[in-house]
């Protein structure tokens, strides 16, 4: 807190925190959250392995590296091979790139569409709100996985089409969240002051209200990455993944018929997906605790 001079010259206390102070406080709360720190460190480790690992291995994950169905612990294949003889470790390292890429691209698209619809609906209200929310409800009642399967089937199943399909079916919750935040913030004093001085609607939406609504949207964006990763794994498991790009979901889908003979080529990618989604969820929970003003005041 800082002191300001009153009318009689005596200092008074101003309880309004500076944005930098709020960020420092949020960071302190996040660091104190052991689960969030564990999730962050785990996710960083996964990113490092998938980013640096391919340069160390320097091989093609689709190349045959040993005898088929070699168990973990084999000298040349530490984590064993799949039913064709492809190295499981190489598949895990390279597969993380495609899986994470789909997660980030789909989450970015989902947040973009959701924030756009929610911001316009919450700010303008009236017929704009009605029209955009009816579109949102239409997408919300559609079976997400089935709709994504249809979109991927209509086009060539590549990393980009899969990511776009996932993004197009998973934006509705973000839209509703953004709408509620804009409905809450649009009547506050600082927004009304911008209207009085003649600020344009575009400036008020994107430069005044949106920055103050970012906290819950950041949490939603973080969690949507994990949702997109699970979507990609589900599509690949059903045979709708990109056959030219190794991913964790593709490894599970390809080796599913041989799970009793080749459990490691299904279990290990499943563990990788589990750890990735778990770490992202822990980060999201930590961000929610750190950025939520009510929880921050209780900390």
Q: Can you give the pLDDT at residue 20?
A: 61
Angle at 11 between CA 7 and CA 13, to 5 degrees: 110
Query: Is 160 inside any structural domain?
Result: yes
- The span from the CA of 273 to the CA of 78, in Å, is 20
Query: Is 39 inside any structural domain?
Result: no
Furthest C-alpha separation in the chain = 87
Q: Can you give the pLDDT at residue 293?
A: 59
The stretches of 125-143 forming alpha helices (DSSP H) are 126-141
**Percent of the chain whose pLDDT exceeds 90:** 48
Q: Are 233 and 248 in contact (CB under 8 A)?
A: yes
Q: Can you give the pLDDT at residue 3?
A: 42
Phi-psi region of 13 (alpha: psi -120 to 50; beta: other; left: phi over 0): beta
**Selected residue with higher pLDDT from 294 and 88:** 88
Q: Can you give the pLDDT at residue 10?
A: 39
Spatial CB neighbours of 231, under 8 Å, sequence gap ≥ 6 = 106, 144, 145, 148, 166, 169, 170
In order of 22, 93, 136, 176, the CA distances from 108 in angstroms are 26, 23, 18, 16
**Looking at residues 92-110, what average pLDDT do you find?**
93
Query: Is 37 inside any structural domain?
Result: no
Query: Is 1 inside any structural domain?
Result: no
- The span from the CA of 177 to the CA of 180, in Å, is 5
Number of domains in the chain: 1
Query: Is 209 inside any structural domain?
Result: yes
Q: Can you give the pLDDT at residue 258?
A: 87
Query: Is 10 inside any structural domain?
Result: no
185-228 per-position pLDDT tens digit: 988 888 899 888 988 989 999 989 998 888 889 888 988 999 89
Task: Please report, for the domain that includes residue 123, its CATH number.
Answer: 1.10.3720.10
pLDDT of 81 higher than 60? yes
* Range of weakest confidence among 21-30, 160-169, 274-283: 21-30
Q: Where are the beta strands (DSSP E) in the chain?
A: 2-5, 11-14
117-126 per-position pLDDT tens digit: 999 999 998 9
102-158 per-position pLDDT tens digit: 999 999 999 999 999 999 999 998 999 999 999 999 999 888 888 899 989 888 888
Q: Are 209 and 185 in contact (CB under 8 A)?
A: yes
Query: Is 199 inside any structural domain?
Result: yes
- The span from the CA of 20 to the CA of 27, in Å, is 11
Q: Can you give the pLDDT at residue 35?
A: 93
Rg, Å, the chain Cα set: 24
Domain enclosing residue 225, as ranges? 49-298
Angle at 115 between CA 288 and CA 285, to 5 degrees: 15
Spell 95-134 as b/e; 16+ CB within 10 A means b: bbbbbbbbbbbbbbbbbebbbbbbbbbbbbeeeebeebbe
Query: Is 26 inside any structural domain?
Result: no
Q: What is the DSSP secondary structure assignment for residue 213, as one 8-state letter?
A: T
- The span from the CA of 223 to the CA of 283, in Å, is 8
Query: Can you spell out the DSSP letters for 180-216?
Result: HHHHHHTTSHHHHHHHHTT--HHHIIIIIIHHHTHHH
**Looking at residues 232-251, what average pLDDT do you find?**
88
Q: What is the mean pLDDT of the chain?
A: 86
- The span from the CA of 174 to the CA of 228, in Å, is 14
> Comparing C-alpha atoms, which of 204, 199, 195, 54 is closest to residue 123?
204
* β partners of residue 5: 11
pLDDT bin (cut points 50, 70, 90) of residue 296 is: low
* Range of weakest confidence among 25-29, 181-185, 232-236: 25-29
- The span from the CA of 72 to the CA of 57, in Å, is 18
Q: Are 100 and 50 in contact (CB under 8 A)?
A: yes
């Amino acid at each position: 807190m800082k002191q300001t001079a009153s009318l009689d010259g005596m200092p008074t206390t101003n309880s309004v925190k500076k944005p930098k102070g709020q960020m420092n406080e949020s960071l302190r709360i996040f660091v104190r959250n052991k689960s969030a720190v564990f999730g962050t460190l785990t996710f960083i480790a996964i990113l490092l392995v998938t980013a640096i690992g391919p340069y160390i291995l320097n091989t093609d994950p689709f190349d045959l590296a040993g005898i088929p169905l070699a168990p973990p612990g084999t000298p040349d294949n530490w984590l064993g091979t799949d039913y064709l003889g492809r190295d499981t470790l190489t598949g895990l390292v390279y597969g993380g790139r495609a899986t994470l890429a789909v997660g980030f691209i789909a989450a970015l698209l989902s947040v973009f569409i959701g924030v756009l619809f929610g911001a316009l609906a919450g700010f303008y209200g009236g017929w704009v709100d009605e029209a955009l929310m009816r579109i949102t409800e239409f997408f919300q009642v559609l079976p997400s996985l089935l709709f994504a399967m249809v979109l991927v089937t209509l086009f060539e199943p590549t990393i980009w089409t899969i990511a776009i399909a996932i993004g197009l079916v998973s934006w509705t919750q973000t839209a509703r969240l953004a709408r509620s935040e804009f409905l809450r913030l649009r009547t506050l004093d600082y927004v009304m002051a911008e209207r009085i001085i003649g600020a344009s609607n575009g400036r008020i939406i994107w430069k005044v209200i949106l920055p103050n609504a970012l906290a819950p949207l950041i949490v939603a964006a973080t969690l949507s990455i994990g949702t997109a990763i699970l979507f990609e794994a589900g599509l690949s498991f059903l045979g709708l993944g990109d056959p030219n790009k190794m991913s964790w979901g593709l490894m599970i889908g390809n080796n599913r018929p041989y799970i009793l003979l080749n459990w490691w080529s299904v279990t290990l990618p499943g563990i990788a997906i589990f750890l990735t989604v778990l770490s992202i969820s822990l980060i999201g929970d930590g961000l929610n605790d750190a950025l939520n003003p009510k929880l921050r005041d209780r900390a």
